[in-house]
Amino acid sequence: MLMNVGGAVPQIVGSHMPGLPLTFGNVFFAGSTVSGANTGNDGLLPATAISTIDAAVAKCTANNGDVIFVLPGHVETVTAAGGLDLDVAGISIIGCGRGASRPQINFTTVVGADMDVDAASVTIANILFTGGIDALVGPIDVNAADFALLGCEYRDVTGQTSDTVVADANADRMLIRGHVHRGAAAAGGQTAIRVVGGDGTTIDDFWIDGNFATACIENVTTAATNLTVGGSKQNYARTRNAADVIFTAVATTTGNIGPNINMRLQDNAANITECLVGADMQFFGPLQIVNLDGEMPFGVTAVGGIGMINKTASTDA
């Protein structure tokens, strides 16, 4: 990534996240872990970091390619609807650190606490999101086009989040890539990603696990066009709910499911055919489905043409 720190000559910063934009825009640092961090700082250096992401967004210029680097260990607490409003077009918010050191956005206090993406072309990368109150409804709320969520993770910490990422009909060309969802095992969740309309959404390279009463990924209410789910070499989705639905869509939604999605259902039942629903969509294999512990995917009897292995394939019984 090209970055312009404090007005200096742009320099190249390496990144392992494909899709992050190149920029000659302003670069700001945000994070409460720096001594003296506050909302009035200029944020041009880590030593003068702005204490919140929300305050850093306010310093950005629309469609200038501005970037906010969020420092390791920072925790942004969102306690109200729109408590974090990404309302400046073309900005990128990039977390620094790995694992437990990643910056965190925690939703708590009220079930409607959320982060609103209200401007076009916003990118978020390498952020850990956490649910700090039971029955959260749509904490990641996408209402604008060309949003990208790259290499992020969501965790249920207190109770179960209902619908986690919710994108409305304005969220054309949304890209979710490298996303991890660690939902609660207990009942109460509905879906990890909910797409309500929109054109050209892509959801790929995901790892999703939770107790989803509706589906891991769903498109409801308003049909979407050109929706793509899967495609990379590694996609994993597990539902711990007896509904046993991985993906469901409005009957007139168009687009592609697969290839390369590995799916784990909850029950050993007549559920394999029913776990992927999309009447006007195309399905591309491999789409591997298992519905019982100790079994291989439905219909698989050999590996790489070498020979049989001693495992039973799941059945659509």
Q: Would you call 205 exposed, middle or buried from its count of C-beta atoms within 10 A (0-12, 13-18, 19+)? A: buried
pLDDT of residue 303 exceeding 80, the answer is: no
- Is the pLDDT score of 316 beyond 70? yes
Beta-carbon count within 10 A of 62 CB: 13
Tell me the mean pLDDT in the region 248-264. 97
**Does residue 7 have a pLDDT over 60?**
no
Average pLDDT over residues 294-310: 65
How buried is 253 (Cβ within 10 angstroms: 0-12 exposed, 13-18 middle, 19+ buried)?
buried
Contacts of 198 (CB under 8 A, 6+ apart): 167, 168, 169, 170, 171, 172, 174, 224, 225, 227
- For residue 129, what are the β-bridge partners? 105, 154
Pick from 150, 154, 126: nearest CA to 138: 154
CA dist list (Å): 34 to 47, 70, 142: 7, 11, 30
> What pLDDT, on a 0 to 100 scale, did the predictor assign at position 5?
41
- Nearest to residue 93, comparing CAs of 117, 122, 73, 120? 122
Q: Is 259 exposed, middle or buried (0-12, 13-18, 19+ CB in 10 A)?
A: middle
- Give the distance between the most distant pair of CA atoms in the chain: 66
| Reported confidence tier of residue 9, pLDDT bands at 50, 70, 90 | very low
The stretch 70-88 carries a mean pLDDT of: 98
As a whole number of Å, the CA-based R_g of the chain is: 20
- Predicted confidence at residue 127, as pLDDT, reads 98
Q: Which residues contact 310 (CB under 8 A, 6 or more apart)?
A: none
Q: Under DSSP, is residue 53 helix (H, G, I), strand (E, B) or coil?
A: helix
pLDDT in tens, 11-69: 333 344 555 556 679 999 999 999 999 999 999 999 999 999 999 999 999 999 999 99
Task: Please give the Cα distance from 290 to 272 (Å, whole number).
Answer: 8
Query: What is the rounded CA–CA span in Å between residue 37 and residue 29?
Result: 10
Span 189-202, mean pLDDT? 98
* CA atoms of 154 and 169, how far apart (whole Å): 23
- The domain spans of the chain are 72-94+108-308
pLDDT for res 313: 86
Phi and psi torsions of 221, nearest 5° = 70, -60
Q: What pLDDT is attached to residue 12? A: 33
pLDDT at residue number 300 = 61
- Residue 221 gets the label, from left (phi > 0), alpha (psi -120 to 50) or beta, of left
**What's the DSSP call for residue 57?**
H
pLDDT confidence bin for 4, thresholds 50/70/90: very low
The per-residue pLDDT for range 115-155, each reduced to its tens digit, is 999 999 999 999 999 999 999 999 999 999 999 999 999 99
Question: For all residues of the chain together, what is the average pLDDT?
Answer: 91
2 CB neighbour count, 10 Å cutoff: 15
β-partners of residue 117 are 86, 142
How many residues appear in the chain? 317
> Above pLDDT 90, what percent of the chain?
82
SS3 37: coil
Q: Is 263 helix (H, G, I), strand (E, B) or coil?
A: strand
> Taking the mean position of all CA atoms in its chain, how far away is CA 8?
33
DSSP state, residue 22: P
Q: Answer yes or no: are the C-beta atoms of 255 and 228 closer than 8 Å.
A: yes
Please report the pLDDT score of residue 96 as a whole number. Answer: 96
